[in-house]
Structure 1
C-alpha cells in the first residue's frame, strides 16, 4: 500500500464531437489506475477512439453512494482515479457529487480537468446576456411542478438556463407559455456539437410554434436559455417593512437624515426613498 493518497481527477469529456477533448484529458485518462464512469459501455467508445484501455468501474446515480466508498479506499491506497460522465463535465446534472465530497472531506486532492459543457457551449452562442446567469439543472417532470418552477422565475432579472429532454421539450415550452410573456426571448439549443446541432433564438411564442410544427425540433438533448425579465424601475415601490423603517426614522430625524439612514439600512435607491419620504410627510400634513 502506498503511503500517499492518490488523486481524483474530474475529467470533462465531449458532448458529441469526439474532437472536443483536451490533450491533457487524454493523457490523464491514459495515466490513471481507474476510470469511474456513469455508463461504462458509453465511455468505451471514446476510450477506444483514443486507444485508452484503462480499467473501468461503474459510478452512476443508482450506486454512487456505495461505489464512492469503495473508490475512496482505492484513493487512500494511492491509486489515481478519473471521474467521467457520459458527456460533458461531471456533476453538472450528472453523477459524481458524493465521490467528490468524500474525497474533499478525506483530504484527498481533487483535480479538475476542464473541457466541454453543454451549458457553457449554449450560452456562448446564445446571443443573450451572460455576465450573470442562473443554471437550474433539469426542469421538473410534471406540468404543475414546471408551471410553479417557471412562475418562481417570472421576474428573475438575469438570464436563466435549464436542461430538457426530447420527450418533454414540447410540454415544457407549452407550460412556459402559460406563465411567461410570449414575447420573452428564449434560445433553444439542441444536439450541440453533433451532426444536427441547432441553435434557435426567438420569442417564446415563435419558439413554441417551431417546436410544435417541426418534429426534428423535438429530437435530441436540449439546453433552454431564457432572457431575464425587464424590471421597470419607475414602478418600484417600497415594501411594507422598508416603508415602516422610513416612517420611524422620519419621526426622529429630518427628511434628509432619515433618507440617508434608510439608504444604509435597506439598500434602496436614494431617489425612491426620498420620494416616499415626501409622500409620508404630505400624508401626515393632510390628517
Structure 2
C-alpha cells in the first residue's frame, strides 16, 4: 500500500474498526477478564521507546486498567527473540518479513497494523557522496559506496538494519563489497545517529527517531522517504501482535489483547496521530483506515491449505 499523509477517519468508523482487535475490556463489561494489578511485558523496537511515544500510550492504558506495562526496548530481531522464548506478552516491531516468519512458526497471533512513518537517509551537511535532494535510495547507497563515504549501520538485525540490507541488495552490494568505510555499530538508533554525527558520514534512520533528536545532531536528511513523496523502499510500517498462549501457557494473553485493543482503538490511534516533538508528527496511525487491509492478519503470500472442492 502506498504510504501517504491521510485524513484521520471519522469516529463512527474508528469505533467499528477498534472492535476488530479483540478484547478491549470496556468499562462495565461483566464478561471482561479481570486484569487489574497485573503486569504486561512489551518488547519493542528502540524507535518507539526513544521517541517518547510509548510513555504517551502506556500511561492512559495503565490508568484505565490498573496495570503496569514493563517495556523492554530492543531491536526488532531481539524483541522477536524475546517473544520466542516466552519472556514477553506482546511485541511491537517494524520488519514485516521477520514478523511473518514468526507468525508462520506459530509463536505470534492476532497481528494488527498499528502505525507507520518512513526511513530517511541522513548524513553530514557537507554531503561527501553528493546524494542530497535525490529521490532514489538505491542510487544514493551506490553513490555512498562508490565514494567510500562513511556509512554507519545498526548492524543489529533490527527493523532498520533489515531495511538497510534490502536497499544494499537492490543496489547490488553485499558484505564482500564493504570496506573500512562501512561501520557496524551494533547499537540502537539514537546511538547510531550520534556516532554518525561524530564520523561525518551517513546512516539510515527511521524518521521518528531522527526528528526526536533533531536538536541534538547536525545531521541532515539527504533522501526523503514516502511520507514526503520519496521512494516506497523507504516505507516503515509498524505491527503489533500477541505471543501465542498455546506455545507459552504463562503469557498474559488477556492483558496483551487489551493492550492491542487500546492501541488500535480510536483513543490509541488519536494519541499516535497527535504525538509530536518540536512540532513534528513522528508517526501516522494505520489501524483505523478508510480502506482496511484485511490481509494484515496473516503472513504475506500465505495462502493456507488447498480446498478439495
- Structure number with greater CO (CA < 8 Å, separation at least 6) is 2
Q: TM-score, normalised by structure 1?
A: 0.32
Higher helix share: 1
Larger radius of gyration: 1
Q: TM-score, normalised by structure 2?
A: 0.30
